[in-house]
Structures are given as C-alpha cells and as structure tokens.
Amino acid sequence: METVELHIPASPWTLALPLGADTRTYLYLILCLALSILACSHLLRKPTSSRPVLNPSGFEIIGLQRRIDFNNTAGGLITQGREKFPGKPYHLITDTCDLLVLPPTFAEGIRNNPDLDLTSTVEEDFHAYVPGFEAFRGGREDEITNMITEPLSRETDFALKQRFGVSNDWKEYKVYEEILDVVARISTRVFLGPELCRNEEWLRITKNYTVDSFIAAFVLRIFPRSLRSLVHWFLPQCRSIRQQLADARKLILPAVQARRKLRASVQAEGKVVPDFNDAIDWLDQEAKGDPYDVVSCQLGMSMAAIHTTTDLLTETMQNLAMHPELVEELRREIVEVLSAGGWKKTSLYNLKLMDSVLKESQRVRPAGTLVMQRKATRTTKLPDGSTLAKGQRCAVDSFGPSGMASSEVYDNPSAFDPHRFERMRGQPGLDSKAHLVATGPAHLGFGHGQHSCPGRFFASNELKVALCHLLIDYEWRFADGYTPKRMENGFMLGTDPEARILLRRRSQPEVELLGL
C-alpha cells in the first residue's frame, strides 16, 4: 500500500488548514507573537534524565512552519528511534512536550499505574481550559452498555440508503465522506436517540467539530500557554468551534430537557419509565443527580467515536476490495450466524471471521504509532526499575519490538492475513487475545489497561452491524486507476480520505437483514 504524507497539522482527516483572518485579527496575532518572543519562556527544556534523546536540538514552540514540518516528519523520527534504541526508552522532543517513548514491552507494566494520568495529557494538548474545547475535559470513561443492536441495524439500513441509494448501477463515491455520514447517523442513534439521529444540523456539527477542534488546537499551540486564554478570542479557528458548541447546545438541551420532563412525569404517575437505550438516559443514570455538562459529554463521545470508527470501517472496506475472495466467506458467515440468532450481541460475537478481518485491518494500519500517552502525577517506577519524574510525559510505540508489527509475535507481520485472529480462537492462551476488543502489548489498537478505549465494545458492534449491511446489500470495488494510500501526519495514521470506490446495490441479497 502506497504511503503519502499530508502536509497539514494534527489530524489525519483534515485536508486543509484555513488560516485566513481579517486585518484586526492579524494585528492581534502580531502583538501576541511579539509578546511571545519577548517572554522567552516558550522553549522546551531538554530532558535531564540519563536516557538517550533522539533529537537533542529540541523544538521551538513558536513558528507555524516548524510545527507543520514536525508533523510531516514525526513518523520518520519514531522509525529512527525504533532502530537506534531497540527495545529501550528514549526521549523525543515533540511540538508539545518532552516525551519519553517506551517500547511495547512496557505496556503491561504501566497499564494500571495510578500515577500515570491520561486526562491531563489530553487537556494540555487540546486546551481544555479554553472556551470551545470543553469536549476535551476529563470525564467518565465508563463503557456504554445495554445498547441493543436492532436499532443500529435499522438506522444503518436507512443511512446506507440515504448515502448510496438503491440503484443496481455502479456509481463512484468518495468513500470516506459517505461512510462518515453513515457512522455519524448510527452513532447518534445510540448517543442521542431517535430525536436527533436524523437532524442534519447536528450531523454537520458532530462530523465537523472533531476536525475543526484539532485544527484550532494546533494553531493555538503556536502561542505560549500564558497567552492562549487571550489569543483564542481572536483566532478564527477557535471562534468556529465556539460557535459549533453554542449551536450544539441549542439542539441538545431541549431534547435532554424534554426527556427528563417525560421521565419525571411517568415516575410521578407511578408508571414504568421507558428504556430509550441511548446515552441521554445513560449519562443521567451515571450522574446520579450530580450536575454535568451534557453537551460537552455528547460532543466528547462523538469526537472519540465517529472519525475513528469511520477510519477503521473505510480501511476494512479497502482491504476487502483488495481481497475480494473474502467477501463470499463473510457473506456466508453473516447468513449462518444471523439466521440462527438474529440481531443479538451473541450473534455479533459469533461473527468470528469478520472480527478477525477488523482486528487485522487495525493491526496492519492502526490509528497511530504512539499510544497510551500518560503524564506522571508524581515520581513513579517504570517496569525496568527506572523512575519517571513527576510531570514527565510518556507514550508507547505500538510498532516497536513485540508490538503490532513484530515478527516475534506474528508470522509474516507485514502481510494482511484476514484469518490470523480467527485461527487464535479457542487456542489456550490465545483465545482471550483474539477478539477485536482485546488489548495487550502485541495489539494496542485500543490502547491497554485502565485507560484503554472505553467505547471499543460499542464500536465493535457498530462496525459489525455496518459491515453486515454493506456486505449483504452492496458490492464495491476500487475506481479505475485508484491505488490505496495510507496517510501519515504527526504520530497519527489514517486511511485515505480521497479514496474512491465504485459501489452498487445488490439485486438478490442472501437474506433480508431487517427481517431478522
């Protein structure tokens, strides 16, 4: 698969960095930039530990071009570090911090360390203290449970017909854009229920906020932290996400208030409160009467789920286009499993080949080269007996020795083997590692330990429901002349957002999925 670099900041989904601003904004920026230069407090200090430093020249905070250059070369730096310091920790001076890069063998030892915090790293990098970035504030990491699959199936069928139609003629699509809309719709069905899952304004916000907030965060990082609380008011990128958050409040709060009023009314009448099976009810139940920002929570869930799920689903569709022999195997499995069990969680669990294809797609091209980013809240010990100073940040190299591309763990690791994890099912010592939702040092697609992705169980079900409908009801192939590409930006990897496929509705599907 060809690899290309996006000369853009912070997100593999972002296609442009809109830096236009009016004259007044430019004047404010020039003033703030001058203050930044005079402050001289913006230079990252070099590490004081005895561990090696990959890029000892450091990185200057001020300078947009240097930030963009770093994002374009970060992947190469990680490759150099892997080769220069195999299996050993080393410092990497990034555009945000001094980062201690750990090999995958450290993942097990740090996974539940209470002194290593995830939330503060996100809040620092994405300015959670600044208006508009509230969705990046630390919150609950509980898994969304008790979400049934039948509503997902119905919404998936509706969404696919909306985006791809019902024609039996081949038509070309930019697949990422179409799948993004589908995933936004079915995710919103679970997050916000039937009230908003087809609201076009909310769908626009939930698709755009992630990309726009990554851009805004990148631009704001040009300035020292001490000035960001002022500068953000004048940056057009920050103004944009503040407006999106305000628009989201106008949409979400009435729906939430109506739901709470209905719940209170039913309870007052002594009747059974209906179970809506969505995150509106789930968040209220978890809060137990404590106040919380429901809009930020909803945006945060959407931000964590929609683009990542779209990325893996699009990547899997491309892998199936490259391995068309898998399509019939998967269709047979779908028909056999769903015909016997219907739309139940146990049925999705039994889609073993599909689970393996998804997990292998994620292994070959995960969402990032560095995972498990943490910050030490106090001096703590690492698995090798060395210490991590308070305030030091660290992360794990997912592709390092014994990691996701290691020949120590996987036979022919560079090859896409769709049956790789299916073969592990039922084998002693391997079965627990074979599932898509399983985490471990050899497969860090969802992280590992207490801060591993809490939504991976929902994402797994969502991906399988979507693939069932796509495989049974549609067929696709690459558009003529298209070559699959992998996008690299900073430490993030992504599927090609420009990928084009030819797709059509199948005239004689093996089973009617909505009838199950």
What separation in angstroms does the CA of 456 have from each of 213, 306, 312, 462, 489?
22, 12, 12, 10, 23
d(CA 262, CA 256): 10
d(CA 147, CA 251): 23
d(CA 462, CA 186): 8
Burial call 147-172: b when 16+ CB within 10 Å, e when fewer: bebebbbbbbbbbbeebbeeeeeeee
75 backbone φψ class: left, alpha, beta (φ>0; ψ -120 to 50):
alpha
d(CA 286, CA 232): 33
Residue 40 among known ligand-binding residues: no
Q: Where are the alpha helices (DSSP H) in 269-293?
A: 279-287
Q: The tokens of 73 are what?
A: 């070369």
What separation in angstroms does the CA of 116 have from each of 130, 380, 420, 426?
24, 8, 33, 34
The string of DSSP letters for 173-187 reads EEHHHHHHHHHHHHH
Q: The tokens of 141 are what?
A: 């990491």
Residues forming the annotated binding site for heme?
A: 453
Binding residues: 453
